[in-house]
Amino acid sequence: MLLWSHGGVHSSTLPTLLIIFTITTITPIVADFPKHLRIPAVVLELVLGIIVGSHVLDWAKRDEIVDILAEFGLALLIFLAGFEIDFEALRGTPLKLASSAWGCSLVLGLVAGFVIAWSGLALSGIVVGLALTSTALGTLLPILRDSGRLVTPFGVHVLANGAAAEFGPIIAIAVVLGGKDPGRATATLFAFVVVAIAAVWLSLRTPPERLSRLARTTLTTSGQLPIRIAILMIAALVWWAAKLELDILLGAFVAGVVFRGFSQTAHDHEQLHVIESKLDAVGFGFLIPFFFVVSGMKFDLHALTSDAGAIAKLPLFLVLLLVVRGVPILVLYRSALDAANRRALALMSSAGLPLIVVITTIGVDSGRMKPGNAAALVGAGMLSVLLFPSLAMSLLTGDVSPRKSPQDS
């Protein structure tokens, strides 16, 4: 009862929750107003989070409860990214091209980062370089699904690139930015991978008939066993990653992959769509927008506005995002996509935000990045999510396959 009591330890939490939930409710409405320029709700959530946060109006206060809910929202976002990825569809050319493109992006990002650090504009080239190699897969998924392009060849390439540009930086964070020496970090990462492989293997085996039956029958009752299993998997693998002092995003991503395998073996295609819609409701209806609003509240606007150099770096980082992620795709996909779709893929893959927030936070906390540079990078990520997907959708050619509802399946 302390949470709700007038003089309790967390007496400021309820007004903050009310403000955050108000923001998450009005952002889809506001995002629908411009008919010719669709502003992603995630950008509005970040901007409104900045406005109500401590650096502007100071209406919303962060505390342990707010931060925990935001962290779980981030975990669920990465979980859904792992759950959405159909490795059967990505296997072969899409995944090979995506892996090659991210490898090239890593080289370009590190070169750009070390040049910036050498010039005195940043403290750590590694932090800047890794931030430039990420792609906002969780942000792109709703755009692709709403446009009916998720199951098209273009959508498959976006998913493959997003998977590579999510998983690659997460591994790099665990090894390079985790605070341990590389040898120990690699050993703990190997231990996690062994457990993850075992979990994936178990998820692909046919579950006991009683468990399958319960999962099917409770999907439309108050039991909701498949959704509860998903939450348990997130908590378990995030805990295991944290126990090994790895980034929790690694555990969340693997949990999504594992749960997809379990869902495919325990349910038919129609039930899989139902599960997906319920997870979307929990994620995008509650915890994920919560995370983005709180990320806006954390955004150090003062560090950006008080430093003219940081403001000048914002367009620099925006261009570097496009170069580091986009150029390899323009070069490597010449035989896979036509020119218009190749440019659209380059733009889509250059939109980065969630992992930029994570990497810059780690950089500031560890003393490897100045707050002004972190704010400039996050600001560039916000602009990339605002601009690049919209430009990409205007360039796309070819037919689309509208997303079926569970009733239509």
Handedness of CA 119, 121, 125, 129 (dihedral sign): negative
Specify the DSSP element, H or E, that contains 212: helix 209-217
- pLDDT score for 44: 86
Average pLDDT in the 114-143 region?
A: 84
Burial class (CB in 10 A: 0-12, 13-18, 19+), 164: buried
Q: Provide the domain count of the chain.
A: 1
- Mean pLDDT (the chain) is 82
Residue 1 maps to a domain: no
- pLDDT score for 1: 45
Residue 377 to residue 382: CA distance in whole angstroms: 9
Residue 186 maps to a domain: yes
- pLDDT score for 172: 79
Average pLDDT in the 73-86 region?
A: 82
The CATH code of the domain that includes 318 is 1.20.1530.20
- Of 69-73, 178-182, 190-194, the poorest mean pLDDT is in 178-182
pLDDT confidence tier of residue 320, bands split at 50, 70 and 90:
very high
- pLDDT score for 322: 95
- pLDDT score for 9: 47
The pLDDT of residue 39 is above 60:
yes
% residues pLDDT > 90 (the chain)? 22
pLDDT confidence tier of residue 124, bands split at 50, 70 and 90:
confident
Average pLDDT in the 140-153 region?
A: 77
Work out the widest C-alpha separation in the chain, in whole angstroms: 65
Residue 406 maps to a domain: no
- Of 5-9, 176-180, 292-296, the poorest mean pLDDT is in 5-9
- pLDDT score for 406: 36
Residue 113 maps to a domain: yes
pLDDT: is 263 or 405 the higher one?
Answer: 263
Cα–Cα distances in Å, from 134 out to 17, 102, 167, 285?
A: 30, 9, 9, 24
Copy the structure tokens of residue 283: 């994620």
Mapping DSSP onto H, E and C, the string for 102-146 reads HHHHHHHHHHHHHHHHHCCCCCCHHHHHHHCCCCCHHHHHHHHHH
Average pLDDT in the 397-407 region?
A: 46
The pLDDT of residue 180 is above 60:
no
pLDDT confidence tier of residue 121, bands split at 50, 70 and 90:
confident
pLDDT confidence tier of residue 217, bands split at 50, 70 and 90:
confident
pLDDT: is 325 or 276 the higher one?
Answer: 325
**Residue 191 CB neighbour total at 10 angstroms:** 13
The pLDDT of residue 47 is above 60:
yes
DSSP 8-state symbol, 405: P
Give residue 295's domain range.
13-395
Average pLDDT in the 181-185 region?
A: 64
The pLDDT of residue 403 is above 90:
no
Residue 408 maps to a domain: no
- Of 6-10, 25-29, 122-126, 399-403, the poorest mean pLDDT is in 399-403
The pLDDT of residue 94 is above 80:
yes
* Angle (deg, nearest 10), helices 269-282 and 225-243: 60
Considering 3-7, 24-28, 216-220, 404-408, the range whose residues carry the highest mean pLDDT is: 24-28
Residue 8 maps to a domain: no
- pLDDT score for 407: 37
Residue 2 maps to a domain: no
* Angle (deg, nearest 10), helices 371-395 and 339-349: 150
pLDDT: is 268 or 285 the higher one?
Answer: 285
Say whether pTM exceeds 0.85.
no
* Closest C-alpha among 261, 323, 295 to residue 132: 323
pLDDT: is 187 or 231 the higher one?
Answer: 231
Residue 7 maps to a domain: no
Q: Mind listing the pLDDT tens digit for each residue in 366-379?
A: 788 888 888 889 88
